[in-house]
Structure 1
């Protein structure tokens, strides 16, 4: 499988190079030269496959000969050590629980696979790699956990000061060793901009082997396609058309779903559910993609004003807005709507949903009226455990959720972070001083 840059289809490389580089030299995102279509028999017999089986079958299509099947299976078995259960709210509405990994967020799927894949390539090359990653919340903790103590890889996590939850900050600032937290005086978009500038800066790249752990890295994105198949597998009535409601920020989760769809997963429609940072919703409604400064909301992992993965979505659809609209519908909701959604899900279904999932719920409910909802299986992606947002849960429901034991252990540890401005020169000087 070859990969090309979204900025230049003639810049072609292999999977290993795409993973190690993270971002193409011209600043574009890597895309597979083709999306492989899976055998119909796989979809028809999907209930006989385990999550590990599904992962192997999907990912080997994108790595081909670059990772031998035996080695790939070992990577996958180490990465996916937790389930992705489908929880039924009612006969046709489901929540896909993606918070059963070590850091209680869907990003554990991508981060753990990417960490082990990079470790495999770094060992093969006998090199040292420096990972730069921007986070608006859960990415940082998943990456920190996934790469912690991995030999030959240093991780620098950029996060916006005072714009992640207390628990999220604890998860990414208490590990040390090869994981460094950089607290940026700015927004997530500033963090993402700094990472992108570092990748194209000549003096940094002459001294450091850089890669990214955001969903701009193809090794973070591909594993996220797996749980769409895993969700479909668990549906009771597979003859009913399926809609996925996807909380959307940097659009990596939605893009992974589109990859699954293009590979042959039966999907009727995707709903890209956004918060007040609704650049993508506005794009689908108006045809104009106009990045803006991000705004802080209760669903902070979606606080993105310039989503990177729009490049991949446009590429998948050859920039044809009409075709994008056929497959994706988008709605946006504010913080008040988020609290409403959380309360409604609890009152109606006795289920505690996090702020991001609440936006997915609101989008699904508003897209389908009560009659239509019976015609479809609607799957809402629940991207994080509600205990990570207990302050918001208390606002919505009047009580807090019990924090799982694996999360409690980091809360009493001391925070370690380095504060930097949102000026690129400061980041550049810091990184170069580490050599």
Structure 2
């Protein structure tokens, strides 16, 4: 399988170049040259497959012969060794729990698959691999966990000062070893721009063997498609889901669109954002106008210029009408989100985090017009990662902190303070 740049479809590279170099020189994003629907034989028994088995077939269909079947199966089995259950919380309303991995966030799917894929592709290379990543919350922790003490790698994580929760920050700043955190005086958009700027410096990239672990990397995106198949099969046969996706950088939605291209039957997509509503505004009027991001209690969605929008446009052939027919965009503020957290707990007994609460609001809006549709809301992180907000709304002690997160609370934070100038990364390197 070859991969092209969203800025130039004539630019083709193999999987190793796409994954290890992450970003084309023309500042596009890599996409597979073909996305062929899964064969009829897959659909005969897909509902009986395990999550890793579904993942293997999906990855194989996208990657073709880029990785031998035995090696790919090992990568998927090692990476996806936790569940992603669908929990019914009300009539026609379900939650897809994506926080059962080691860092309690959906990013574990992408980070663990990517780390093992990179290790396979780089197996004959003796040079140190430098993983450069920006995070608005959960990506950094998942990448740090996936790469911690992996031989031949070092990880540099950029995160916005004051822009992640305390426990999220501890996941980035307490591992040590080959994991280094840079606390940026700026927004997530600044962090993302710093990463991109360094990847566009080809000399720097070659000198330090740079690779990215953000969802700009195609190997981060592919495993996120796995759980859409896993979720859809948990509904009654014949029911087509409406997936409601709390959205920031839009990697999750893009992965869902890949799943749909592979043949998964989806009734509709709902992109739910906080006040950082660049994509909902685009879906409304066809004008793409990124704005500086604003801080909210759903911090992982505080993205003003979502990277994966380029892939979304590519998948729809830059056809705004086609995109808006398939995707609805809805945005909600913090006050509404806080009320939703309380309402979900009071009405269903379920504890939902601020990002999932934005999804709940969007599902409720969708159900006003289509009350019989089966909505599946992606719950992207465990509520304990947003403890101050959760306890403000539900009371002290209302959320149990899993031990693998609680054990970080008293560990000392180690982070380097930097400005939002891309040259700060070069200086650090």
Q: Which deviations, in whole Å up to 9, do the C-alpha atoms of 1:18-40 show, x marking residues without a partner?
A: 11111112211001111120124
For 1:341-367, what per-residue CA distance to the aligned partner results, in whole angstroms no more than 9, with x for missing partners? 111111111000000000011001012
Shift of 1:92: 1.6
Aligned with 2:289: secondary structure? coil
Instruction: Give 2:343's aligned residue.
Output: 344
Specify the alignment match of 2:427 in structure 1. Answer: 429
Matched residues in 2 for 1:97 and 1:206: separation?
39
| CA distance, structure 2, for counterparts of residue 128 and residue 8 of structure 1 | 30
What is the 5 A alignment of 1:354-373?
Answer: 354-369=353-368, 372-373=370-371
Separation in structure 2 between the aligned mates of residue 61 and residue 367 of structure 1, nearest angstrom = 32
1:122/1:128 contact within 8 Å kept? no
- When the two chains are superposed, the root-mean-square deviation of aligned CA atoms in Å is 1.2
Once the 2 structures are TM-superposed, how far is the Cα of residue 129 of structure 1 from its aligned partner? 1.1
1:127 alignment partner in structure 2: 127
For the 8 Å contact 1:87–1:94, the answer to whether it is kept is: yes
Partner of 2:145: 145
Structure 2: distance between partners of 1:174 and 1:295: 27
Aligned partners of 1:105 and 1:64: how far apart in 2?
28
List aligned pairs for 1:220-369, cutoff 5 A: 220-235=220-235, 237-369=236-368
Q: CA deviation at 1:372?
A: 2.5
State the distance in 2 between where 1:211 and 1:27 align: 14
SS of 2:127 mapped into structure 1: coil
Matching of residue 397 in structure 1 with residue 403 in structure 2: no
State the number of aligned residues: 428
Deviates more, 1:155-164 or 1:206-215: 206-215
The aligned runs of 1:10-159 (5 Å cut-off) are: 10-159=10-159
Query: Contact 2:83/2:100 (CA < 8 Å) preserved in 1?
Result: yes
**How far apart in 1 are the matches of 2:202 and 2:69?**
36
> Does structure 2 retain, via aligned residues, the 8 Å contact 1:119–1:153?
no
In 2, are the aligned partners of 1:216 and 1:308 still within 8 Å (CA)? Answer: yes
In 1, are the aligned partners of 2:38 and 2:61 still within 8 Å (CA)? Answer: no
Contact 2:133 2:140 in 1 (8 A): yes
Return 15-24 or 104-113, whichever deviates more: 15-24
In structure 2, how many angstroms separate the alpha carbons of the residues matched to 1:382 and 1:43?
A: 26
Q: Deviations over 1:319-353 (max 9, x none)?
A: 10000011100100000011111111111110000
The separation in 2 between residues aligned to 1:44 and 1:348, in whole angstroms, is 38
Question: Separation in 2 of the partners of 1:16 and 1:373?
Answer: 46
* In 2: Cα distance, 1:28 partner to 1:216 partner: 9
**Deviation above 3 Å: which 4+ runs of structure 1?**
none
2 CA distance for matches of 1:228 and 1:335? 28
**Offset of 1:203 from its aligned partner?**
4.2
Distance 1:41 1:341 in 2: 42
User: Which moved further from structure 2: 58-67 or 86-95?
Assistant: 58-67
TM-score (ref. length: structure 2):
0.98
Deviation at 1:206? 4.2
Q: What's the secondary structure of 1:36's corresponding residue?
A: coil
C-alpha separation in 1, matches of 2:24 and 2:115: 19
CA distance in 1, matches of 2:91, 2:381: 23
Map Cα deviations across residues 226-281 of structure 1 (whole Å, 9 max, x no partner). Answer: 0000001111x232331000000000000000110111111010000000100011
Which consecutive unaligned segments of at least 5 residues does structure 1 have?
none
Deviation for aligned residue 1:297: 0.2
Distance 2:284 2:406 in 1: 43
Bigger shift: residues 152-161 or 43-52:
43-52
Give per-residue Cα distances to partners, 1:108-129, cap 9 Å, x unaligned.
0000000111111122333321
| Contact 1:15–1:62 (8 Å) recurs in 2 | no
User: Take 2:315 and 2:233, find their aligned partners in 1: how far apart are those partners?
Assistant: 25
Structure 2: which 5+ runs fail to align? none
- Is 1:105–1:385's contact at 8 Å kept on the other side of the alignment? yes
1:374-412 per-position Cα deviation (integer Å, ceiling 9, x unaligned) = 2x1110000000011111111222233010011112222
In 2, Cα distance between the equivalents of 1:165 and 1:288? 32
SS in 2 for 1:89: strand
SS at match of 1:249: coil
Please give the TM-score of this superposition, normalised by the length of structure 1. 0.96
Deviates more, 1:40-49 or 1:408-417: 40-49
- Per the TM alignment, residue 202 of structure 1 is displaced from its structure 2 partner at its CA by 4.1
